[in-house]
Structure formats: structure tokens, C-alpha cells
Structure 1
């Protein structure tokens, strides 16, 4: 067995900052278009030669990163060379499906399509061993999280507004602990409970991904939580604006309620748009305030998990020391924070504007690649077993609590 040159977390930090460095040196990260409404749009906007060339360039860029990671981590480079192109093609199909205007209006994000495609293939076909061996779910997720750090700008906390930040703190803390308490009362294991709590209280998909990475969570559990988040968001987009209208809430209160309750940014924007301009503005501010807390939450969860959840005999014999905590601490969280600090205080706004589009596209691609991989690794029998009903019930109970608590806080702060 080839010895690893670096741990996976340090490899992710290295590769993430190689990507950032390349972009800052002036190499433009291609951002292919996936938006379309009709089949004519599909052929004229997405399947054009120029757009396909951009997609090909993006493939080469990510393929080199994947091969480099496999080499550094001691994985089979040959399997990665055969498997990654397949995962990329499947993920590209998911991105095209998610780009359809009708599906976008329903907030069906790319990750749900990539997960679904992977699940269908893994459950109805026998996949070759070299393909499953090539899958690097955690690696893809963590690279995406490093790039996500470039968009979490500390200075924007002030722009989010003091009221939005106060609401975010109250909601995140109260809902997180309630969700965790409910999950534990229902007999759900702590790993699953932490993922559910973060997803329902902070910012849905991104929070679930970040939390899973911080505690090195089971990818099957992560895919379950992501599925619940995305599916639950759809009826909330539609019904919450009508409920707010029936209650006679102002646009400001409605926007704060939507931003603090709905778990994905895209769904918040869609729902806020249905209410009005002020509601859209306030809902975006509140949701951004919650998104800003993601890095701090991931850091705190990482510390908690590393101190309390390593059951090896060596650790059981002694209390965790600083060195033990450091050894177990997920280093990619430091990369996330470092990227945020770099783009908050060092990189100029002009440079940021020139690279943020490419980073956002690449971040979304890495997440989608990860969920294609999760789908290819997961069986329906595992995902929707009888035991899987408890996490669903815990999530729905916590979300209901979130709806009422956030409404009360929003009314007090914004009415």
C-alpha cells in the first residue's frame, strides 16, 4: 500500500489554495452556462460549441485536481483516471437538468439531481469496482467548502444589519439545541443528530455539508439530510407567503420569517420574491446573516466532536490534550476560515469581483460531484429503511419549532 504523503484534510487545504492561487494569478476559471427554458434554448445556449469548450476546460481543471489528490493520498490513480470522467459527465447532466427554468422555479437544485442520478445507477445497475473505488465524496465536498470560504466575507456581517444578525443568533442557537434534543430523545445517534440540527437551524444544504465534513460523518446520513432539506423547502416556498398574508404580517416581518425559516438561499429568494421587494431584501439579509455563522458553527462543532467522540482505547485512557485535539481536528475548517479571512481583509474588491463568479461555479461543481458520488455509493434500502423514519420525524418536528420561534423573533425585531 502506498503511503500517504498528506492527510486528506491537509490535501484539501493545499488543493483548495492551489485553485485560489491559480485564479488570483490571472487564470480565468471557466463558467459554462446551464440555464435554459425550451429545447431551442438548450441547443442555442447550453449545447453550443463555445459553452461545451468551457465545460471541457472545467473538466480538465477538475480532473487534474482529482488525479493530484489521488496521487498524494495514495489512492489508485488509474481508477480515478477511469472513474472521474464518468462522474463528471453524470454531474454535468444534473447541472443541465437543474438549469431548466421550470425546475429552477421549484428550487430543485443541482445536488438533488446529481444525487438522484447516482442513486438510480447504484440501485438498478451493478457498478464496476474500479468506479466505486474512484469515488472521493469527502474530498470533493471539502474542496467545495474551501472555495465557499471565499464568499463568506466578514465585513458583510455589518451589511447584513444588526437586527438580522441578532435574529440569526437567537434562531440558530435555540433551534439547533431543540433539534439536537429531539433527535437524541428519539434515539437518533449523535452524528446524525448534529447533521439534522445544523441543517434545520443554520442554512440547510451548506450547513449539513460543512457539519458532516467537520465530524467526518457518514455520507449516507448526509445524503438523507440533504434530501429532506431540499424536499421540505418546496412546500415552504409556496405556503409560507400565503400564511404570512393571512396573518396580516408586514413585508419586513414576512421577509425576516422566510429568511430565518427556509433552509436554502435559493428557496428564500424564490419565496421572498412572491411577497414583494422589501420582503425579498429582508429575507436575503437574514439568510445571509445565518450563512455567515456557518464557519463559526463548523469550528465549534469540530472542537466538540474531537473532544468527545473519539472512542479509541488510546484516547479513553487519558483526557484529551491540546495535541490530541489538534491531531483529530478537521484541518479543512482552518482552510475555510483562512480563505474567508484572505478575501475579507487582503484581496481587493476589484480582484474579488473578477474571480467570484468562477469560484462560485467551481464550488457548485465540487458539491454536485460529491453528491453524484454519494448517490453511486448509496442503496435505497439504506436510505429509506425503517430506521430512517426517525431522522425524518425529528427534522420535521424541529422545522415546525423553527417556524414558530422564527416568527416570534421576527415579529419582535421587525414589526
Structure 2
């Protein structure tokens, strides 16, 4: 007797469906409370994070994301039994990472939750043998892409245009020039194509989110993505501290300093922290510039996917042949459409009251899906794969490209904001 055939959908299509479902439920009134993870000492940890009411919120959040993940598993044809066994383990590890990242001293040096998620996963995978049911439950790509669709809800075109078009102009100039320089540099250093694309996007656009989106667009190796994100987070910390000192030493105005910080520091959290060290105007301008780069993320992911399709056409027998529209559509990362659609809905359709009501919950869920993804990446990765002899050239390329980024951004900031 033949086994009943399962309905299996493409992962990118499933991601758009799940992202739309989460957004629709939020708009419809299912707004999840945001759990507290901030603490400064053991007493505060017990009274806030580990307090029964907050643990109840974490449990409600677990049930919600488990249901979404199970729907994803069913639609993509994965083992439901493995998911039900493995997902709670990944979630528990991720919550532990969020608690560690919530410490006030950790926040002061801007160590993000994803680095703890990745670290915990790496420790477990490198010192213990993972059972098969846990390995088969890991869905890194699914979690990352759901987070990216939700990221679109925070990219509001109106706010950026209202605040000033200069930030968008700067973002466009910096993204294009830095991306091509980083791409050229990586090619000169003979770095492989996947790392080249991820490094170029991470340095030029918006750090972690850009690296994730690019990896999705080219179906990149998650281990390489881990390495790129590690570089982004490691370099963001000293830049966050020393860039304001640099600006102060050379007597740059707050507007120019803000534009410099927003255009050169790769993570939004580090940009906000750095801008706060300078002043209110610097914080405002740096945030506008960073958000302007975020707006370009969807467009960049689309362009990268088309470029990748043309340069990596599967017909190896006839390398000169051009890919058809069908091939481009097949390879096109559909989650980008979800990101753009979410951004358009929140920019032009929903009223300010609705956006205000749902944005906190959706921002929390976006961060949670990213953290779940990096816990999964850590569990899939070996230290030797992440940091090996071949990782030196990409790191040098990243640092040189970041230096070029600072110079170009400073010149453009002086021209536009001085």
C-alpha cells in the first residue's frame, strides 16, 4: 500500500506564509507581551527575569513560536516528531542566551543576543555528541527568513523621508561604492564567492541583517554566515567606542558625526549607543542614516539574487547561455517579497495607532527568530570550521573594506551634513 504523499512547499514560500500569519495575528489583536530580560545583579535577575509572571510570558511566547515552527515543519515536509523533541531544547538555549545578553554590563559593551546564541550552540556541538533527533530538528534557514520578513515591519519609508532625504542619499552613495570595493578586494584576495557576497553586503549595507539576507539570496553556507556575523559583531564594539572619540578629536559637528556613525558602524544597536555618546542631534542623524541603509536591504537582496543567478547559472555545459526568467524566478529568494510587502504595509497602509500597538511585540519576535537561528547555527557548526587558516584572508578583507567604508562615509557626510 503506497504511503500518502505529503504536500511539501518551497521553504521561501513557507516563510512568507508564516511571516504574513504572524503579522496578521498581531494586527488582528493577538499581541504577545514582551518578556523582560534586563538585569544588573542576582537579586534583580530573580525579581524580574525569573519572576513567575515573566516566566509565564516566556512560556506563552514558546507556545506561539512552537506552533509557527510546527506549521513550518509540516509545510516543508520535515519530521514532526523531531521538531516536537528538538525545538524546546533550541528555545531553552536561546532564552538562556537572551538572559545572558540582558545583563547591564553586557549591554554596556553592546554584545548582542545572537552572539550568545551562537556561542552556546558552538559549546554544546563541540563538546557533546548531538542526538539525531536534535540535529534533524534544526531549521536555521526557516528561522532566519521569518526574522527577516518581520524585520520589514520596522522599515518605515515615511519616517525616513520625513526626517530627511540626505540620509537616503548618503546611504545610496555609501552602499554602492563600498559594496563594489569590498567585492573587488575579496576577488583580489581570492576569497570564495559566497564569503565575498556576504562580506560585501555586511560591510556596505547594514551588518548582520544584510549578511543574513545575502546568505538567503544565494543559498549560502550557514557556517560562512556565522563567521561573517562574528566579524561584524567583533568590529562593531571598538568602533562604537572609538568613532565618537575620533569625531571629537577632529572637531566634527554632531550632524556630520551622526552621519559618519550611521553609515560606518554595522549594527543598529551599536549605532544608537555610539550616537548617544555624542549627543541628541548625532543620535537622530545616525539613526536616520542607518534606517536608510535598512530600506535598501530588500532592493539589494533582489539585485544580488539576480546577479548570483547570472554568474552562477546551473548550465555548466553551456556557460555562455543566459538564465531564463523562469530560472531567475526559481532562484529568487521569495522571502525578500515578504520583507518588502511588510515594509510597504507598515509604511503606507496601517495607521500610526495600529503600528504603535504592534511594533514592540513584532520587534521582540523578530529578535527571537534571529536568536533561534543562531542557536541552530551554533549547534550545526564545529569550531574548526568557523575559525581555520582559511579565515584569515576574509578577516583582512573585512577590516580593509571597513576602513574604506569609514573614509567614504566621512567624505560624503562632510559634503552633505557639514
- Report the TM-score when normalising by structure 1: 0.97
Query: 2:220 aligned with 1:217, yes or no?
Result: yes
Aligned counterparts of 2:196 and 2:148: Cα–Cα separation in 1: 21
User: What secondary structure does 2:136 align onto?
Assistant: helix
Q: 1:234 aligns with which of 230, 237, 240?
A: 237
User: How far has the Cα of 1:10 moved from its partner?
Assistant: 0.6
Query: 2:185 aligned with 1:182, yes or no?
Result: yes
Q: 1:405 aligns with which of 402, 408, 411?
A: 408
Query: 2:10 aligned with 1:7, yes or no?
Result: yes
- Structure 1 residues 110-129: aligned runs within 5 Å: 110-129=113-132
Aligned counterparts of 2:222 and 2:150: Cα–Cα separation in 1: 20
Specify the alignment match of 1:339 in structure 2.
Answer: 342
Specify the alignment match of 1:252 in structure 2.
Answer: 255
Specify the alignment match of 2:85 in structure 1.
Answer: 82
Residues 314, 361 of structure 1: alpha-carbon distance in 2 compared, 3 angstrom cutoff: farther
User: How far has the Cα of 1:319 moved from its partner?
Assistant: 2.6
Query: 2:74 aligned with 1:71, yes or no?
Result: yes
Residues 3, 229 of structure 1: alpha-carbon distance in 2 compared, 3 angstrom cutoff: same
1:200-231 superposed Cα distances (whole Å, 9 cap, x missing partner): 11111111111111111110010000000000
Q: 1:151 aligns with which of 154, 167, 179?
A: 154
Specify the alignment match of 1:265 in structure 2.
Answer: 268
Specify the alignment match of 2:42 in structure 1.
Answer: 39
RMSD between aligned residues: 1.5
Query: 2:296 aligned with 1:293, yes or no?
Result: yes
Residues 312, 81 of structure 1: alpha-carbon distance in 2 compared, 3 angstrom cutoff: farther
1:290-335 superposed Cα distances (whole Å, 9 cap, x missing partner): 1111111112112212232232558858531112211221111111
- Once superposed, which parts of structure 1, at least 4 consecutive aligned residues long, lie more than 4 Å away? 1-4, 312-318
Query: 2:354 aligned with 1:351, yes or no?
Result: yes
Deviates more, 1:382-391 or 1:302-311: 302-311
Specify the alignment match of 1:361 in structure 2.
Answer: 364
Contact 2:182–2:199 (Cα < 8 Å) also in 1 = yes
Specify the alignment match of 1:387 in structure 2.
Answer: 390
Between Structure 1 and Structure 2, how many residues are aligned?
415
Contact 1:176–1:198 (Cα < 8 Å) also in 2 = yes
User: How far has the Cα of 1:149 moved from its partner?
Assistant: 1.0
Deviates more, 1:54-63 or 1:35-44: 35-44
Q: 1:173 aligns with which of 169, 173, 176?
A: 176
Contact 2:9–2:75 (Cα < 8 Å) also in 1 = yes
- Structure 1 residues 197-216: aligned runs within 5 Å: 197-216=200-219
Contact 1:160–1:289 (Cα < 8 Å) also in 2 = no
Specify the alignment match of 1:327 in structure 2.
Answer: 330
Aligned counterparts of 1:282 and 1:152: Cα–Cα separation in 2: 16
Specify the alignment match of 2:104 in structure 1.
Answer: 101
Aligned counterparts of 1:301 and 1:200: Cα–Cα separation in 2: 15
Contact 1:160–1:286 (Cα < 8 Å) also in 2 = no
Specify the alignment match of 2:25 in structure 1.
Answer: 22
Residues 185, 274 of structure 1: alpha-carbon distance in 2 compared, 3 angstrom cutoff: same
Q: 1:192 aligns with which of 192, 195, 198?
A: 195
Aligned counterparts of 1:312 and 1:364: Cα–Cα separation in 2: 39
Specify the alignment match of 1:378 in structure 2.
Answer: 381
Aligned counterparts of 2:255 and 2:398: Cα–Cα separation in 1: 27
**Contiguous gaps of at least 5 residues in structure 1:** none
Specify the alignment match of 1:131 in structure 2.
Answer: 134
1:336-383 superposed Cα distances (whole Å, 9 cap, x missing partner): 111111112221211111111110000000000000000000011111
- Report the TM-score when normalising by structure 2: 0.96
